[in-house]
Amino acid sequence: MSEPAQKSFPTSARVVIVGGGVMGCGVAYHLAHEGWTDIVLLEKAELTSGSTWHAAGQITHSTSSFALGKCVDYNIGLYSGALEAETGQSVTWYGCGSFRLAYSEDEMDWLRHTLSVGRTLGFNIELVGPERVAELHPFYNLEGVIGALNTPDDGHVDPSGITQALATGARQLGARIIRRCRATDIKQLDSGEWKVFTEQGDITCEHVVNAGGT
């Protein structure tokens, strides 16, 4: 149900987040955990009604960037138990592990690079030949495969469940989430604060986060 505009619509907040996908709800959850609980999140439709709803939800340790690798590793911890335990909201984590296959020497170079990033970050990651893939996953078509990265701690989640769980966690710490409320404009005031114009009223805030997706 959308919140009644007349009575309780907030006129100020420390942070206004525009967009209730995994990004907006994730920002709300993590800001709230950092003690920034005076948050209003605006969603023009329903939570997870953007790209998040369509995502496959694959989470992998196979990444070529240290920063992304650290994020993914943190996510695996959060999604595989901590978030569900905190909020009571199921996220359907399925820790199936995964392979990343190489069909050429160039792709093998990329896997070696990814391996070095993963090892430096302490991930459970190994470079294996096709025979090991066949052993672990007999249904793979390995024609042309010359090597693979095996990342056993990978998994997949229901992205909607994750988003709802992050929203629940944020709400539990005091964040307000207002659905069916489109942000229509954002202007900076002389004071340096921001005014977010919405379908239900205006909110003055210190920070605006645009998590409206693509």
Write out the residues near ligand FAD by the rule CB under 6 A.
18-24, 42-45, 49-52, 54-58, 182-183, 211-213
Complex with ligand FAD: residue 130 or 213, whichever CB lies closer: 213
Complex with ligand FAD: residue 2 or 104, whichever CB lies closer: 2
Complex with ligand FAD: residue 51 or 116, whichever CB lies closer: 51
Q: Which two tokens stand for residue 42?
A: 């605006």
Complex with ligand FAD: residue 112 or 187, whichever CB lies closer: 187
The size of the chain, in residues, is: 214
Burial of residue 146, with CB atoms counted within 10 A of its CB: 0-12 exposed, 13-18 middle, 19 or more buried: middle
Query: In sequence order, which residues have a C-beta less than 8 Å from that of residue 9 and are 6 or more positions away?
Result: 3, 178, 200, 201
CB 201 within 8 A of CB 6: no
Complex with ligand FAD: residue 55 or 208, whichever CB lies closer: 55
Q: How far is the CB of 136 from ligand FAD (least distance, A)?
A: 21
CB 70 within 8 A of CB 121: yes
Q: How far is the CB of 8 from ligand FAD (least distance, A)?
A: 18
Q: How far is the CB of 135 from ligand FAD (least distance, A)?
A: 26
Q: How far is the CB of 180 from ligand FAD (least distance, A)?
A: 9
Q: How far is the CB of 74 from ligand FAD (least distance, A)?
A: 13
Integer Cα distance of 15 and 32 in angstroms = 10
Integer Cα distance of 176 and 170 in angstroms = 8
